[in-house]
Amino acid sequence: MHVLLCLVCVFSLFGQYRLTPLPQDEHDQSIHATKPAQNDLSMATKYLQHFYSFQADPAGRRRRSRPSFSSKLKDMQSFFGLNRTGTLNPATLIVMRTPRCGVSDVEDYSHRRGNKWKKNLITYGVGQYTGHLPVNIVDSLISSALDVWAKASPLTFLRSYSHEADIMVEFVRNDHGDSFPFDGPEGTLAHAYGPGAGIGGDVHFDEAESWTVGSKGFNLYLVAAHEFGHALGLKHSQNPESVMYPTYKNRKTYNVLSSEDIININTLYGPRNKRPSPSSRFIWSYPSDPWHSGSNFPVSLKETCNPDLTFDAVTTVGEALFFFRDKYLWIKHNNQNDIKEGPISNFMPNVDCKIDAAYWVPQRATAYLFNGTVFWTVKGSQVKSRARNIRTFGFPSWVQHIDAAVHIHRTAHTLFFTEHLYWRYNEHYKSMNDSSPRNISEDFPGINGPINAAVYKDGSLHFFVGSDVYKYDTKQKEIIGVYKTMSWLGC
């Protein structure tokens, strides 16, 4: 194949007709005149063409330069640990009919070392859903299948509601526009493309199949975990315990990855960044520069979280929360305490500076990052334009710094805070409110600037002021809770 294509899991029913072992002398000739043997030969030829690059010659013509059917059959038998007879014996035919992934078993990925994602923050989205499972169940299974790889690597997967996500998941039927049509029930289950632009990384599941969460039908979680391995650049494994083994089986749904899978994903992307245990949280070295430790990153000590922790910027991005401090970033998913962290440039290669403020517009699946008088627009982890001046929003020239920004999607307004003032910006009309700026304390009683960061979550505004976070009810115009900043990292 010319791309890392995983036409995952070509599944056939066992026992559609009973195999009758051929006499040894006739079997060694590979072909028998009976109809079942002709069906076997036709099926085997297609199998070797698809998975072992066998090129069949036109009828009546032979080319000695091409590998023979028998030699390709031996390659297949060798891959699956069968006796290399070069003949269609019953054991070989059984493997050929066993549910499996559709990517070539002889595809050599070693010459495609560059064919991996050149970033650690990878977006994914679900386009068309299956009718076999509820939407929330599909979302959960897809997220869990990606999390299998996230827990074993430095990769972070961020849900996007844009069709421009790095990995797009679709449930489709028959011919669906990519030159690899599906073939109906119990045939090709799915296919995936290796890392790259456009269709690269996308995963298509055949909607004609019976997708389930258990042992009946086809377990979506298990197939998806395999497919996402290909979408990240992994090849097939000859180890039956590997999730990347070509044939489908109802393996355990916990600890899905084998040690080999973990080694292979680490070979591509490096090991997972180790985090302190719950009893070994982050604390900064005081009284000197809190980031002074011979590097630009926090010092991990066996202490509880520092009660004086502050952030420069906080924003939602899809279903995740991003926390910025200097050139460091924490990413927290779905209120879970499993947090990915590291230098901002690890997740966004083109961003190598402190972020003063940030906000996310879900309708555009776009984040806006601010530093001084400039800002960038970011989709996924890709900076979509050169730095632009904040005056394009309508700020006067005397504004040299944005302290915080927050987008309220229900009103389509973004609030910008600087010192003791705030501006209200209409994202739909791309213009500042005529009454801007206004005094923060007048419109948000109890909140006094300057504000470090702000985020709109679960129907409330959250203002980060120093090491405290104020939960604010915008309807009642009052503070309804006060928390420590460190609690947002699970401390």
Tell me if 184 is assigned to a ligand binding site. yes
Tell me if 244 is assigned to a ligand binding site. yes
Q: Is the pLDDT assigned to residue 369 strictly greater than 70? A: yes
How does residue 107 score in pLDDT terms, banded at 50, 70 and 90? low
What residues contact residue 233 under an 8 Å CB cut-off, 6+ apart? 4, 109, 112, 115, 116, 117, 194, 195, 268
**Spatial distance between the Cα atoms of 247 and 357, rounded to a whole number of angstroms:** 48
Tell me if 202 is assigned to a ligand binding site. yes
How does residue 35 score in pLDDT terms, banded at 50, 70 and 90? very low
- Is the peptide bond prior to 23 cis by the omega test (within 30 degrees of 0)? no
CATH 3.40.390.10 intervals, the chain: 109-269
Tell me if 356 is assigned to a ligand binding site. yes
Tell me if 407 is assigned to a ligand binding site. no
| 50 φ/ψ sector (left φ>0, alpha ψ -120 to 50, else beta) | alpha
Active site residues: 227
| Average pLDDT of the segment spanning 484-489 | 87
Closest by alpha carbon to 229, among 208, 252, 257?
A: 257
**Spatial distance between the Cα atoms of 473 and 459, rounded to a whole number of angstroms:** 8
The pLDDT tens digits for 175-216 are 888 877 887 888 778 888 899 988 999 999 989 889 998 888
Q: 378 and 388 in contact (C-beta within 8 Å)?
A: no
Tell me the sheet residues that pair with 222. none
Tell me if 27 is assigned to a ligand binding site. no
Q: Which residue reads 């000590």 in tokens?
A: 301
DSSP 302: E
CATH 2.110.10.10 intervals, the chain: 306-489
Tell me if 466 is assigned to a ligand binding site. no
Q: β-strands 218-219, 211-212: how paired?
A: parallel
% residues pLDDT > 70 (the chain)? 81
How does residue 102 score in pLDDT terms, banded at 50, 70 and 90? confident
- Is the peptide bond prior to 287 cis by the omega test (within 30 degrees of 0)? yes
Tell me if 204 is assigned to a ligand binding site. yes
* Choices 3.40.605.10, 2.110.10.10, 3.20.20.10, 3.30.70.2740: CATH for 306-489: 2.110.10.10
Tell me if 166 is assigned to a ligand binding site. yes
Tell me if 230 is assigned to a ligand binding site. yes
| 249 φ/ψ sector (left φ>0, alpha ψ -120 to 50, else beta) | beta
Centre a 10 Å sphere on the Cβ of residue 268 and count the other Cβ atoms it contains.
Answer: 17
How does residue 282 score in pLDDT terms, banded at 50, 70 and 90? very low
Provide the CATH topology of domain 109-269.
Answer: Collagenase (Catalytic Domain) (3.40.390)
Tell me if 320 is assigned to a ligand binding site. no
Q: Is the pLDDT assigned to residue 5 strictly greater than 80? A: no
Q: Is pLDDT larger for residue 354 or for residue 345? A: 354
